[in-house]
Amino acid sequence: QQQVKQSPQSLIVQKGGISIINCAYENTAFDYFPWYQQFPGKGPALLIAIRPDVSEKKEGRFTISFNKSAKQFSLHIMDSQPGDSATYFCAAVFKAAGNKLTFGGGTRVLVKP
Amino acid sequence: KAGVTQTPRYLIKTRGQQVTLSCSPISGHRSVSWYQQTPGQGLQFLFEYFSETQRNKGNFPGRFSGRQFSNSRSEMNVSTLELGDSALYLCASSPRNRAGGTDTQYFGPGTRLTVL
């Protein structure tokens, strides 16, 4: 059972463009939603995270939008740069269950110069 | 501070063998989690340890086991290896100072296990 569904699987965007990645979850007990960025040969690194009582969170060029009623959240990468080329994973956590991250399938983003 | 370190970085084993992977968390971190990453199944949670106790376990067979030592270092063991166990095994540590709740997890570079 895939509890967090992520789309698209891959994305090509021109430098300066906007990358948009969408995730949907099923378990309403999830109460923390982080996004991770992974470069080849490296482990995932936390990019930005949001809690369901907030509809939007922005950190630099990265913004999370959260729709609790639709059980969906998305990552927007503004002014995409070649250095943003990586695989992005959304995740969900049920805090009372500790540090167990339930990941989406990942989106490979390629930013063309 | 040094990041999460994992050893070895690469490992080749044959079916039926067993393997032990090691993880050293960031200094001061008490929680260590393990994840398996494969192209087909993505990132899947294996287990979490806090203060030498397993706090959480994913849906993996009993061939996958782990432990944590008093210095927070952790090992995971896979017995009777199968071809499908070929994966990148990631360790993550977090500064969590109590058994419950969640906080930022910092991942190591992983151990690439190939089973022939």
Contact A95 B101 (CB under 8 A): yes
Candidates B89, B95, B42; CA nearest to B64 is: B89
Residues A33 and A21 sit within 8 Å (Cβ to Cβ):
no
Q: What is the pLDDT of residue B97?
A: 59
Q: Which residues contact B80 (CB under 8 A, 6 or more apart)?
A: B16, B18, B63
Candidates A38, A73, A33, A71; CA nearest to A49 is: A33
Residues A27 and A97 sit within 8 Å (Cβ to Cβ):
no
pLDDT digits (tens, 9 = 90+) for A58-99: 999 999 999 999 999 999 999 999 999 999 999 999 877 777
Q: What is the pLDDT of residue A99?
A: 79
- Three-state DSSP at A106 gives coil
Is the Cβ of B42 closer than 8 Å to some Cβ of chain A? yes
Contact B90 A42 (CB under 8 A): no
* Interfacial residues of A (vs B; Cβ cutoff 8 Å): 32, 34, 36, 41-46, 49, 89, 93, 95-106
Burial of B18 (0-12, 13-18, 19+ CB in 10 A): exposed
pLDDT digits (tens, 9 = 90+) for A6-53: 999 999 999 999 999 999 999 998 989 999 999 998 999 999 999 888
Measure the CA–CA gap between B107 and B42, rounded to whole angstroms: 15
Q: What is the pLDDT of residue A86?
A: 97
Give, for all 116 residues of chain B, the pLDDT tens digit: 789 999 999 999 999 999 999 999 999 899 999 999 999 889 999 999 998 999 889 999 999 999 999 999 999 999 999 999 999 999 999 887 565 556 788 999 999 999 99
Q: What is the pLDDT of residue B40?
A: 87
CA contacts within 13 A on the Cβ side of B26: 17
CA distance A32 to chain B (A): 9
